């Protein structure tokens, strides 16, 4: 049975450019190549640029090459039987089986999405649409999530920034904020004392604050936020989980992209063009 990717290629072959058809031919001649090669290697085999390869998959309706790879793996898993572990025993981490950790993460995400109000999601997306600038802020482990959030959002819109606080100099970043800017605050325990002062300055600048946080902090976050997205973050370990927080950030991004398709497409094409010109990617 043909894969979904092959069916899409066959359906849209007549509308593909000459360069895109080269990629299509490589895939049709070796359908397993999606799982065994990177997008860069695929582009090289077809004799086209990396940007052309990225546009090819977007033409087929995919967000990026990783979505194609995940689809291929899912199709393989559904058509091929699982192989049992050699020793028949499941590994244990921190006193729990790996399946327990996975089940808990899935439950966190499921419960958070079930409780997510569609009107709040739309409100957040509208704030992002209207914002002159979008800022990301996180402390501790959430600092890394803030950096990733900035990277994700900058793929779909301009003027996306990150509060770095280099050398504890928060004033330099805050001085660049203004009315209707959106502050995406990612916060779990423990929270530093400086957060209160930063939020006070943000409100003075008339920024709009969107807080992604745990349920225990929801009530306090609602006192200063324009919107709060509560995250279930239960875990068995000694380190926090950010799976729900990251999933909600992606949901906001793709919702924004679906409602601003033309602008997002132009943004993606511009970034791909610059990357190709700079020859940045392997």
What phi and psi values does residue 91 have, to the nearest 5 degrees? -65, 150
Can you give the pLDDT at residue 84? 42
Greater confidence (164 vs 254) lies with 254
- pLDDT at residue 16 above 70? yes
Banded model confidence at residue 98, pLDDT cuts 50, 70, 90: confident
Domain residue extents for the chain: 4-81, 92-270
Q: Over range 217-225, report the average pLDDT.
A: 93
Instruction: Report residue 58 as tokens.
Output: 């977007």
Q: Where are the alpha helices (DSSP H) in the chain?
A: 4-12, 18-29, 33-36, 39-46, 50-59, 65-79, 98-115, 118-130, 141-153, 170-174, 194-204, 218-224, 243-259, 261-278
Instruction: Report residue 263 as tokens.
Output: 């602008």
Banded model confidence at residue 89, pLDDT cuts 50, 70, 90: low
Banded model confidence at residue 34, pLDDT cuts 50, 70, 90: confident
Q: Which residues contact 39 (CB under 8 A, 6 or more apart)?
A: 50, 53, 54, 57, 65
Banded model confidence at residue 94, pLDDT cuts 50, 70, 90: low
Greater confidence (87 vs 131) lies with 131
- What is the phi-psi region of residue 113: left when phi exceeds 0, alpha when psi lies from -120 to 50, beta otherwise? alpha
Greater confidence (75 vs 12) lies with 12
Tens of pLDDT, residue by residue over 176-197, are: 999 999 999 999 998 999 999 9
Q: Which residues contact 254 (CB under 8 A, 6 or more apart)?
A: 63
Banded model confidence at residue 82, pLDDT cuts 50, 70, 90: very low
As a dihedral over the C-alpha atoms of residue 218, residue 221, residue 225, residue 227, rounded to 10 degrees, the angle is -10
Structurally, what CATH architecture does the domain formed by 4-81 represent?
A: Orthogonal Bundle (1.10)
CATH top-level class of 92-270: alpha beta
- pLDDT at residue 205 above 90? yes
Can you give the pLDDT at residue 90? 59
Positive or negative torsion for Cα 52, 57, 59, 64: negative
- pLDDT at residue 250 above 70? yes
| Tokens 């950096």 found at | 147
CA triple 60-56-264, angle to 5 deg: 80
Distance, CA of 167 to CA of 174 (rounded, Å): 14
- pLDDT at residue 160 above 70? yes
- Cβ atoms of 184 and 149 closer than 8 Å: yes
- Cβ atoms of 162 and 146 closer than 8 Å: yes
Please name every residue paired with 185 in a beta bridge, in sequence order, or none if there are none: 137, 211
Can you give the pLDDT at residue 279? 73
Q: Over range 75-81, report the average pLDDT.
A: 63
Tens of pLDDT, residue by residue over 46-66, are: 999 999 999 999 999 888 888
């Amino acid at each position: 049975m043909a894969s979904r990717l092959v069916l899409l290629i066959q359906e849209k072959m007549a509308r593909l450019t000459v360069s895109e058809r080269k990629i299509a031919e490589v895939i049709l001649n070796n359908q397993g190549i999606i799982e065994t090669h990177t997008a860069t290697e695929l582009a090289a085999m077809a004799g086209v640029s990396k940007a052309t390869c990225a546009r090819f998959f977007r033409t087929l309706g995919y967000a990026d090459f990783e979505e194609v790879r995940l689809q291929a793996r899912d199709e393989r898993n559904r058509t091929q039987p699982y192989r049992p572990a050699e020793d028949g025993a499941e590994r244990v981490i921190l006193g729990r089986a790996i399946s327990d950790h996975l089940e808990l993460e899935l439950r966190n995400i499921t419960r958070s999405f079930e409780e997510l109000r569609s009107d709040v999601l739309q409100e957040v997306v509208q704030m992002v649409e209207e914002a002159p600038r979008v800022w990301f802020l996180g402390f501790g482990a959430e600092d890394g999530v803030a950096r990733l959030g900035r990277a994700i959002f900058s793929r779909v819109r301009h003027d996306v920034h990150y509060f770095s606080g280099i050398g504890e100099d928060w004033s330099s970043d805050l001085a660049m904020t203004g009315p209707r800017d959106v502050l995406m605050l990612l916060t779990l325990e423990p929270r530093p004392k400086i957060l209160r002062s930063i939020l006070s300055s943000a409100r003075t600048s008339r920024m709009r604050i969107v807080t992604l946080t745990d349920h225990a902090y929801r009530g306090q976050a609602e006192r200063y936020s324009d919107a709060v997205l509560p995250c279930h973050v239960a875990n068995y370990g000694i380190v926090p989980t950010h799976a729900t927080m990251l999933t909600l950030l992606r949901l906001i991004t793709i919702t924004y992209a679906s409602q601003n398709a033309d602008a997002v497409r132009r943004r993606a094409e511009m970034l791909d063009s610059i990357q190709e010109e700079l020859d940045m990617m392997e």
